[in-house]
Amino acid sequence: MKRKLELQSILTAFMVAGVTLTSCKQTTNQNAEQPPLQEEPAEADPEAALALVNTGAKALADITAQPGLVPHDTDQKFTPKSVILDPDGTEHVRFTRTYKGLSVVGGDFVVHRTQQGTSTSLNKVGIRATKVNAAGSSTPAVADGKINVNVVPKISAQEAQQNARTHFAGKLSKVKDAQLLVFSHNKTPTLAWEVGVMGKNPKNAPSDLRVFIDAQTGRLLAKWEKVHTAAGTGRGVHTGTTKLEVQFTNGFYRLLDETRGRTQSGDMKGLEDAFDAVQKPLLPFAQRQNIFGNFKAENMVSIAADVQFGGIAAWDYFLKNHGRRGAKNDGKGMPSRFNYGVQYANAFYHPDCDCLTYGNGDGGIFKPLTSLDVAVHEFSHAVTRHTADLIYYGESGGLNEATSDIFAALAEFYFNLPSDPPDYLIGEKIVMPGILSNDSLRTMYKPSLDGASPDCYSDEVDFLDVHYSSGIANHFFYLLAEGSKPAGMPESPTCNGSTIKGIGREKAGKIWYRALTAYMNPSTDYSGAKFATLRAAHDLFGVNSLETRTVGAAWAAVKLPNLPPVLPKVVSVSAKKNVETKIPLNITDEDSPINCKESLVVSSSNTKLLPLKNIVLSGKAPECVMTVTPIKNISGAVNISIEVSDEKNKVSNQVPVTVK
């Protein structure tokens, strides 16, 4: 369980003032030096808690009653984590998984229950989990439903800690206790030790690595960063004149917004901290006048105004565009901390304090990191953490970064600030001119302009830094929203020479949010992201809608390959003359939606015994159903040929039927 930053309680509010920032004389931080009062804990949402309990129980019952829904063995246990309720009554229940009492990293899955009470599952969205490893092991991955792991480690916890510290580059400050678990992120399930290693990386930035050590051999399985960063910010206030809701208490105006879940911003005064420790209460920035800042970066009050606006802007964007009330969707705002460290050229979200942290820049390359897109980028990491929880490593890490870039760009267009005109550049306000390519950190319409990010998918993407592998999804999203040759916007060359007409930012944003919250899982890779966005478009606009077709075309335009459908072999079926027999067809496709009626073609080897009109397809993939009705007075055998096709691939199989 991640520890949250404890919020400083505030004296009874006499008024809430709407503040407009204007140019004024320089002011200083007059943060009141008074002891904090105990804050009353926020009440949990009883309706949400009850929905999770009730719907989770139903989904668990479905798993028990339908062994094929989520294949597993008796040593595995599932716990409902969250639930999404659609307007049509469909319920999406996200589960975590344990094996013999040990957490399974990468074992999350989602069960989808329709209004009629039927369930399907999308278990481990991603393709790599189902592959046999290079050593030829036949132990199935979690996606196949079985875990066969000896839970007695040969490597001790102390040995794992010693091993983990060797994989940390920089100044080491702490090695956390080792935790035993099952590691199954796109690998054969393996008993592992997870060790947290903390300190400063070679760039002197905070680092908190999650290191996974094979508990039997001691080899490194994987490592990734918990501190999600985006580089520096500037010498001037980036957001310009904005309106703020503040709290007036005891003669002070405080940057604490009661209307947005108590979103607040506090001054770190140049200090750094151990962000995994229990946080000291941080007072909201306070002063005696209700005008904050003077547009100048050297004025800390101007930086404070930027940071507070970033927090409330992220809140407003997700609430008004996606109905989400805060990063956790629990009605609570995110605390922000500015003036962190000395010449600290970074910003980050960290799950242990559940807070956003901003440095003032280094004065050379980066300005203070307080622009709107940086704030929403970091806030979006928190949204990802509390939904799909995309692992910050490999392709899933690239998707994590791209998700933050996507919502950051969408927020810029939503607010359309005069001081920060919207675009598809990331961090353009925080970079000193003439230093970085395109005067920004990343360029979504042509990611390769930074010299490191790819425009097109290849097998090498999985080995790139996550800030570069994000380029594939950023390019995809620009094509989906704007197209390849949008009027008044930069052109975006496609990788296959095609021309894409965008569906608009609003629709594209809803598709990505739906994919993130309803279908993506910690181990989702690029093929899984294609599948998730197609399913999201299907849900929102229909299977054969223009929007769904454009999703497929945009992924093709960044050269993401199509995977063939999977049609498991059906053993011989017995049927009676003139009696309906239902034959379940568990048809799946990792990256394309399958429509049972439109995607399947059937034929009969004996039309006298089983005419084509007596073969009826129904249901929704993966649970397609073929109903056959042999004619009267004839017995014998017939083979039904089934061909399944998606956008580019076809697979076929035969179902032998014996009629008695």
Instruction: Return the C-alpha torsion angle 234, 235, 240, 246, nearest 10.
Output: 90
CA distances from 519 to 418, 512, 525, 599 (A): 36, 10, 12, 22
> Are 519 and 125 in contact, with CB atoms under 8 Å apart?
yes
Q: Cα–Cα distance between 533 and 511 in angstroms, integer?
A: 6
Q: Cα–Cα distance between 613 and 3 in angstroms, integer?
A: 62
CA distances from 196 to 213, 276, 408 (A): 11, 10, 29
Determine the length of the chain. Answer: 660
For residue 358, give the 3-state DSSP assignment.
Answer: strand
Q: Is 65 exposed, middle or buried (0-12, 13-18, 19+ CB in 10 A)?
A: exposed
Q: Cα–Cα distance between 248 and 521 in angstroms, integer?
A: 43
Residues annotated as part of the active site: 378, 467
Q: Cα–Cα distance between 584 and 603 in angstroms, integer?
A: 17
> Are 395 and 469 in contact, with CB atoms under 8 Å apart?
yes
Q: Cα–Cα distance between 175 and 16 in angstroms, integer?
A: 44
Q: Cα–Cα distance between 359 and 339 in angstroms, integer?
A: 5
Strands 346-350 and 263-267: unpaired
Number of helices (H) and strands (E), helices first, in the chain? 10, 29
| Listed residue (604, 605, 610, 554) closest to 581, CA to CA | 610
| Listed residue (248, 247, 266) closest to 256, CA to CA | 247
Tokens of 218: 């001691």
> Are 182 and 103 in contact, with CB atoms under 8 Å apart?
yes
Percent helix, strand and coil across the chain, each rounded to 5?
25, 25, 50
Strands 355-358 and 336-338: parallel
Tokens of 481: 């929203």
> Are 457 and 474 in contact, with CB atoms under 8 Å apart?
no
Tokens of 264: 């607040």
Task: State how far Cα 133 lies from the chain centre.
Answer: 26
Residue 163 burial (CB count, 10 A): 19
| Listed residue (74, 114, 75) closest to 93, CA to CA | 114
Strands, DSSP E only, in 250-354?
252-254, 256-257, 263-267, 286-287, 336-338, 346-350
Burial 532-568 (b: 16+ CB within 10 A, else e): bbbbbbbbbbebeeebbbbbbbbbbbbbbebbbbebe
H-state helical runs in 99-217: 157-165
Residue with tokens 């990734």: 224
Residue 602 burial (CB count, 10 A): 15
| Listed residue (443, 464, 467, 648) closest to 559, CA to CA | 648
